[in-house]
Homo-oligomer: A and B are copies of this chain.
């Protein structure tokens, strides 16, 4: 699906937010997206950022992530993939590991419900933070 144009309009704001998310790999927060977008469109409001993030998420264009923080991060890559989270600096990066469908199969054997998907995050120290610590 490209975009549900029968219900949604591709406004300049929405396109810009999507562009920002697709051209970064650091999984920014709403506030960080706001800063980025404001450099091009200074009068955009944070409410518009949040409204568009929701629409884009519901349309399957982007993903929302939240890893123990009080805020969400967003990922312009909507396809299933895993993430690595540094416990020191909080950076989130993509993991080049294929999605393991067998996890769903395993889980289905012990769950009295319908298994649909799973989410996996790896925690540790990123290369940069690992160096500084003894």
Contacts and interface: CB of A to CB of B under 8 A. Distances in A.
Contacts of A116: 87, 123-125
How many identical chains are in the complex? 2
A58 to B, nearest CB: 13
B104 A122 contact: yes
A119 B117 contact: no
A71 to B, nearest CB: 10
Interface in A105-134: 106-107, 110-127, 129-130
A121 B111 CA distance: 12
Interface residues of A, number: 34
Contacts of A68: 64, 66
A121 B120 CA distance: 7
Contacts of A123: 115-119
A117 to B, nearest CB: 5
Contact of A120 (B110, B120, B129): B120
Given A104-B122, A118-B123, A84 B97 contact: no
Contact of A121 (B113, B119, B126): B119
Interface of A: 64, 66, 68, 82, 84, 86-87, 95-97, 103-104, 106-107, 110-127, 129-130
